[in-house]
Amino acid sequence: MLPGIGVFGTGPVVKVLVPILRENGFKIEAIWSKILQDAQAAAKELAVPFFTDKIDDVLLRRDVDLIFVLCSPNLHAQISVKALGIGKHIVCDKPAGLNQVDALKMVRAGQYYPTLISVINHSFRFLPAFLHMKKKLEENYLVSPMTLIDIRIQCGSLFGDIDTFDWKCDDTMGGGALNLIGSHIIDLVTFLTNQKAVRVHGIVKAFTKHTHKIKGIRQITAPDFCAFQMELQNGVLVTTTINSHTVGSTFQQEIMICSSTAHLVVRGGDLLGRKGDKNAEEVIYLDVEDLKCPLPNSFLPKTFIKGLCKMVSALREAFLPVNEKAGWIKEPVCSAANFEDGLYVQAVLAAIRESSQTRQWVKVSIMTEQPDKNELLSAVVRRTAISMS
C-alpha cells in the first residue's frame, strides 16, 4: 500500500508535483505553509483535504508516512530531522538546508534511521538522457580519458513570477541561481562521473536588484548569474555558466563531456555523441516521450518536470508490497541523491561563494562535525559579506 503524503510548501514545484503523485497512485493527505491563508488556497486549488501552518499538525498525522519538504531551505533540516525521528520517509528539496551545518544534521538523522527513505530532490538524476549518458561513459564511449566537462545553462528571470519579496530573493535564505540551479549541476557531475570536486573557482553576481513588483527599500541579493570551475579528484576540469538574463527565453541546457577523441552532450533532453572521424554527431537518445499526467502552466523546465516524474515513479516502485516484503524498499531509489550527497553539494556551494569573494581557488572542505558557536558566527558574517558584495 502506498504511503499517505504530507507536503511542506505551496510554490510552483508543489503545484507540478501533486498531479504527478496522484497519477502514480499516491494520496496527498495534508499541506503546510508558513502562512495559513496560502495553505488554505493551495489546499483548495490542489484538492488536499487538510491544510495548516503548524509543522507538527502534518508530521503527527497517522495517515502521513512520506514527507515532501518543498519549503524555504531554513526549514529543511528542522522538518527532515523531526520527521525521520518519528518514522516518516523524506524527500527534501535542494539544496539540503541553508548550509553544511543544516546538511550535517540531516545526514546524522538519516544514518540513525537507515531503514527510512531520505533523499534530496535532484531530479536530473532520473532524466533518461543523463541515465543514457552515464551508461555510455561506463561503456567507454569516450575511448580516451575524460578531459573536460562544459556546462551552460540559460533561462529567463528567476524573479519574474514573484509578487512579493520572499526567501527566493535573498541569498542568505537559499535563493538565487547558484543554490537553485548550481546545486543540481554540482550533484549531476558527481552522479555522471563518480568524482567529487577538490577545489573550485567562481564568481557569483546579483545584477537584478529590483523588479516591477519587488521595489522600494528591500533589494534582491540572490544571484542571477554565476560561473564556476571545479577540479575533480581525477584532474578533470568542469566549467559551468548559469545565466538567467535571457529575456523571454525558455530553459536551455547543454552538458558536454569531452575526451581528446570524442564527446557526449545532452542538449535539452536529447543525448548526442561524436567520436573518431565522424563528420557529425550521432543521436544516441531522443527525448520523444510525452508526460503522462496533466500539469498546470509552469515556468519550470520540462527536463526538470520529466525527471521529477521518473523519480516519483521510482518512489512508487519502492513502496510496492513486493519490495516491502523483501526488505529492500530503498532499491528503486538507490540512484537518488541522499543526504550525504546534499552535504557535499553544500560544501561546494560554500567554497564557490568564498572564491567569489576572495577571487582565488578554494579547497572544498566537507564538514564532519558541528562547529562551535564562534565558528558559526564567523560563517554567518562571511556569508552576509559575500551576499552584499
DSSP string for 214-280: S-SS----S-SEEEEEEEETTS-EEEEEEE---TTPPPEEEEEEEESSEEEEEETTEEEEEETT-SS
276 or 365, greater pLDDT: 365
What tens digit of pLDDT does each residue of 52-72 get?
A: 999 999 999 999 999 999 999
Edge-to-edge strand order for the sheet containing 89-92? Answer: 51-52, 27-32, 4-8, 66-69, 89-92, 118-120, 337-338
pLDDT in the model for residue 288: 85
Residue 295's pLDDT band (cuts 50, 70, 90): low
> Mean pLDDT over residues 314-328, rounded?
72
5: exposed, middle or buried (C-beta count within 10 Å: 0-12, 13-18, 19+)? Answer: buried
With a pLDDT cut of 90, the percent of the chain lying above it is: 74
> How many helices and strands in the chain, by DSSP H and E?
12, 16
The domain spans of the chain are 4-124+297-338, 125-285
Which of 46-50, 158-162, 263-267 has the least mean pLDDT?
158-162
Closest CA to 253 of 92, 70, 130, 341: 130
What tens digit of pLDDT does each residue of 121-131 get?
A: 999 999 999 99
Residue 289's pLDDT band (cuts 50, 70, 90): confident
Cα separation of 90 and 107, whole Å?
12
User: Which CATH number, 3.40.50.10490, 3.30.360.10, 3.90.1150.10, 1.10.1060.10, labels domain 125-285?
Assistant: 3.30.360.10
Q: Which helix H or strand E contains 147, and what residues bound it?
A: strand 146-154
> Mean pLDDT over residues 91-118, rounded?
94
290 or 32, greater pLDDT: 32
Statement: residue 380 has pLDDT above 70: no
> Mean pLDDT over residues 29-56, rounded?
97
> Mean pLDDT over residues 350-362, rounded?
97
pLDDT in the model for residue 377: 54
DSSP string, 167-224: GGG-GGGT-SHIIIIIHHHHHHHHHHHS--EEEEEEEEE------SSS-SS----S-S
Statement: residue 196 has pLDDT above 80: yes
What tens digit of pLDDT does each residue of 220-261 get?
A: 999 999 999 999 999 999 999 999 988 766 789 999 999 999
Decide if domain 4-124+297-338 falls under CATH 3.40.30.10. no
Contacts of 107 (CB under 8 A, 6+ apart): 339, 340, 342, 343
> Mean pLDDT over residues 165-176, rounded?
90
Residue pair 102/81 in contact by the 8 Å Cβ criterion: no
> Mean pLDDT over residues 33-41, rounded?
96
**DSSP reduced 3-state for 51:** strand
Statement: residue 389 has pLDDT above 80: no
Average pLDDT, the chain: 90
Statement: residue 373 has pLDDT above 60: no
Cα separation of 259 and 257, whole Å?
7
pLDDT in the model for residue 386: 47
Q: Is there a common fold for 4-124+297-338 and 125-285?
A: no
278: exposed, middle or buried (C-beta count within 10 Å: 0-12, 13-18, 19+)? Answer: exposed
Residue 384's pLDDT band (cuts 50, 70, 90): low
What tens digit of pLDDT does each residue of 71-100 get?
A: 999 999 999 999 999 999 999 999 999 999
Q: Omega into 321 within 30° of 0, i.e. cis?
A: no
**DSSP reduced 3-state for 99:** coil
